[in-house]
Amino acid sequence: MLPNTRRLVVAENISANGVIEFLDPWFDPGGQDDNVDQLEVITGHMAAETALVLGRQTFEDFRGYWPLQTDDATGFTAHLNQVHKYVLSSTLTDPAWENTTVLSGPVEDEIRALKATPGGEIGVTGSIRVVHALMRADLVDEYRLFVYPVFTSRGRNLVPDGMSMRDLTLTGSGAFRSGVVLQTYQRA
């Protein structure tokens, strides 16, 4: 990472075999009986995040759900309403969600410019096409993978076809009571 640049952190829920797309019902955070320990870690991550980058589809999914939650005790709704959101889209003109800026230029250029601004961590979640573009452009500083104890044969993987990454350092790992394991990797 260059001096005076913000860190770009990709956080994904992922199956044990690398799938991040939810084509099968394998990801059910509401179905976890005891996720208080996981929620504490995620709350810490949100506290460091001053910007959130989303692709258009993930943004629209979030916008259609989170602002409507009135009894959310997790803090997700408050965070998502308050954090500055950047949605990458060449078609969206009116984001219709507070604290949102539409970025319509090339993903790599937009994110390089965002990383050069002052502030805390820039988070990315979901947004498979955006994550793949950021990986190909070598713009991701850290990966936080919430690995769910499930294998699935349907859905896109975290790593785009034809790419491999070997320059990662495991900087953290821990299991939650639910069986989910958080693996944190930084670029070497």
pLDDT in tens, 57-102: 999 999 999 999 898 888 899 999 999 999 999 999 999 999 999 9
Residue 15: inside a domain: no
Q: Coil, strand or helix: which one is 168?
A: strand
Residue 81: inside a domain: yes
Residue 5: inside a domain: no
Q: What is the pTM of this model?
A: 0.91
Residue 19: inside a domain: no
Residue 163: inside a domain: no
Rounded CA separation 187/135 (Å): 11
Residue 10: inside a domain: no
Residue 171: inside a domain: no
Confidence of residue 165 (pLDDT cuts 50, 70, 90): confident
Residue 104: inside a domain: yes
The confidence score (pLDDT) of residue 144 equals 97
Which residues form the domain of 102?
34-119+127-139
Rounded CA separation 155/24 (Å): 8
The confidence score (pLDDT) of residue 153 equals 85
Cross-strand bridge partners of residue 123 = 9, 52
Confidence of residue 28 (pLDDT cuts 50, 70, 90): low
Q: What's the total number of domains in the chain? A: 1
At 115, list the tokens: 């990383």
